[in-house]
Amino acid sequence: MDSVRVLTDSVDAGAYWRKLKQRLTKEGSQVVTFCHGLKLMAPDGKRYLTDCANTEGLLRIVQSIPSPKAEPFKRWLARVGFERIQEIEDPELATKRTRFLYNAKRENLRDHMDDLELIFSMLGEASTTRITTAKNAIGFRKNEKAAREGGKIAGDARRALERKSRQKISTRRNYLKGFQKRKLISS
């Protein structure tokens, strides 16, 4: 239901999920067979039977949701599927893509941050972790709220230092030149 809630903005994600399962079952879709009921802890401290899916099942559910928010995921799935078919036809492409991804991942954004950027990034991450733990945040909405609160703490601290020092913390010199120009190899 967390995924349905995020992708549809439905006020009642549970009802939306139940209707979607009914529609998919009538269409003969196997998506529902990927979902298994597990007893998970709810915000009220009780355990309730909750539909859960593995990665494949969740991606199949995303494909079944008619929503503008689901479209980027659907396009990504189509692209990855297309690339995989290309790699089956030409195994050398898989090697080239792997080599590219390895080289791209070696350039970590943090490697291009100065000390203050790192400090404020770590402050945001640590604040979010502390808030999440303190509030015992369970589920997407509560974790999203904790992340926003942690990010606000770091953002407020950064802006306060920028006002006092009259200098920007993040500057263009930290931008990874040429990083966005790279593209995956395709035939």
pLDDT at 98: 77
The residue ranking higher by pLDDT, 144 or 183, is 144
Residue 46 has a pLDDT of 92
Q: Is the dihedral of CA 73, 79, 85, 90 positive or negative?
A: negative
Write down which residue in 81, 99, 133 finishes a domain.
Answer: 81
Query: Does a structural domain hold residue 156?
Result: yes
Please say if the pLDDT value at position 127 is more than 80. yes
141 and 71 share a domain? Answer: no
The torsion angles phi and psi of 184, rounded to 5 degrees, stand at: -65, 145
Give, in order, the Cα–Cα distances in Å from 153 to each of 66, 124, 137, 149: 36, 7, 18, 6
Within this chain, do residues 8 and 57 fall inside the same structural domain, yes or no?
yes
pLDDT > 50? residue 182:
no
Residue 120 has pLDDT above 60, yes or no: yes
Q: State the Cα torsion 67-69-31-141 to the nearest 10°.
A: -120
Give the global pTM: 0.50
Provide the pLDDT for residue 104: 63
Please choose, from the candidates 143, 140, 148, the residue with its C-alpha nearest in 3D space to the C-alpha of residue 7.
140
**Are 71 and 111 found together in one domain?**
no
Domain count, the chain: 2
Establish if 166 belongs to a structural domain. Answer: yes
Residue 169 token pair: 């913390």
**Segment among 14-23, 71-80, 110-119, 157-166 with least mean pLDDT:** 110-119
* Residue 92 falls inside a structural domain: no
Say if residue 53 is in the same domain as residue 12: yes
Q: 49 with 9, same domain?
A: yes
Supply the range of the domain harboring residue 49.
2-81
